[in-house]
Amino acid sequence: DYCLYQDQLVPREQLKIDPEDRGYHFGDGIYEVVHVYHGKAFALSDHLTRFKESAEKLDLPMLYSTDKLGELVQQLIEKNKLEHGMVYFQMTRGISPRNHLYTRNETPVLTGFSKPLPDEKRESVRLYLTDDIRWLRCDIKTINLLGNVLAKREATDHQCDEALLHRDGTVTEGSSSNVFLIKNETLYTHPATNLILNGITRQITIRLAKAKGYTVVEEPFPKEVIKDADEAFITSTIHEITPVTEVIGDETAHFPVGPVTKMLQQAFAEEIAKHSQT
Ligand code: PLP
């Protein structure tokens, strides 16, 4: 199995990570996860654009152009003969003696790996609704994920698959997904502000829903309306569009796997099929 280190593909056992990498000290870095179908990274240019935006927001220099990065990702997929799976890549600010202050002279460190994924998908998820304790720049895809990590553990400790977060009663997103409610054939989701990560799958889903004639309302909504929804689903690169059947925690709700969710899952599957043919 090969990994990415800067612009090289190296056998995993030869990859060396420096203990004074700022990624270790401060979580000072950014990442992306892409889904690989039929040996090809799905929505790769969207992920690369978001990666560049995350870098800019953190005053991190891009080690390579997005084009070069895209080539490296595709090389890794081919080297590892990956058919269906994921590629993770991250870029930290680099190696320097531990000091909160960065000097802008550091050289970023890029690493990445790939992993196969099972073909069968999770059919539905249960969500645990809890406080969003994260910082105020959730729009940046940083490797500093403790708020998400703690929420995921809390959800699992309550026999749920994913945490659903609310900030002072306003529903934001999942610990590693975006969330949509459906009421009277209208979709509701938090707007792409500093309080959520603007998921690539979220953006594709909104585009597909509009193309199917549904209204999509990107406005904040309070946790109290969850129980009044007809359907709910989460979106993420790995789990695509996954129906929510139950919410517990600070609110309680039950949902069927409804027609709008099914229709969008079908539309998403068609997008993947289209991508695989080109
Ligand atoms: N929100 C958070 C906090 C995430 O970590 C993720 C993905 O891991 C998402 C949303 C979904 O984003 P995407 O669809 O780009 O994978």
Statement: residue 18 has pLDDT above 80: yes
For 90-128, the pLDDT digits (tens) are 999 999 999 999 999 999 999 999 999 999 999 999 999
**Ligand 1: distance of its center to the CA of 97 in Å?**
32
Ligand 1 midpoint to CA 105 (Å): 30
pLDDT at 117: 98
Nearest to 128 by CA among 110, 154, 99: 154
Task: Say yes or no to pLDDT of 188 above 90.
Answer: yes
pLDDT recorded at residue 127 = 98
Once rounded to an integer, what is the mean pLDDT over residues 230-257?
98
**Predicted pLDDT at 57:** 98
Assign 77 a pLDDT band (cuts: 50, 70, 90).
very high
Predicted TM-score (pTM) of this structure: 0.98
Query: Looking at residue 154, what is its pLDDT?
Result: 98
Size of the chain, expressed as the number of residues it contains: 278
Which tokens is 251 given?
A: 């609110």
Of the chain, the percentage scoring pLDDT greater than 70 comes to: 100
> Which atom of ligand 1 approaches the CA of 138 most closely?
3
CATH number given to 2-116: 3.30.470.10
pLDDT for the residue numbered 277: 82
Average pLDDT value for residue range 125-135: 98
Look at residues 215, 211, 207 and name the one whose alpha carbon lies nearest to residue 185: 215
Mean pLDDT of 149-153: 98
d(CA 174, CA 191): 14
Q: Which residues are catalytically annotated? A: 141
Average pLDDT of the chain is 98
What ranges do the domains of the chain cover? 2-116, 125-277
What is the atom index within ligand 1 of the atom nearest the CA of 200? 15
Sequence-separated contacts (24+) of 238-241 with Cβ below 8 Å: 238/33, 238/35, 238/86, 238/117, 239/121, 239/122, 239/125, 239/177, 240/35, 240/121, 240/201, 240/265, 240/268, 241/201, 241/205, 241/265, 241/268
- Does the Cβ of 32 fall within 6 Å of ligand 1? no
Neighbours of 166 (CB within 10 A): 21
Mean pLDDT to the nearest integer, 19-25? 98
Please give the CATH superfamily to which domain 125-277 belongs: D-amino Acid Aminotransferase, subunit A, domain 2 (3.20.10.10)
Q: Is the CB of residue 176 below 6 angstroms from any atom belonging to ligand 1?
A: yes
Residue 172 CB–ligand 1 contact under 6 Å: no
Task: Give the pLDDT confidence score for residue 276 in this predicted structure.
Answer: 83
183 has pLDDT over 80: yes
3-class secondary-structure state, position 109: strand
Confidence of residue 278 (pLDDT cuts 50, 70, 90): confident
pLDDT of amino acid 126: 98
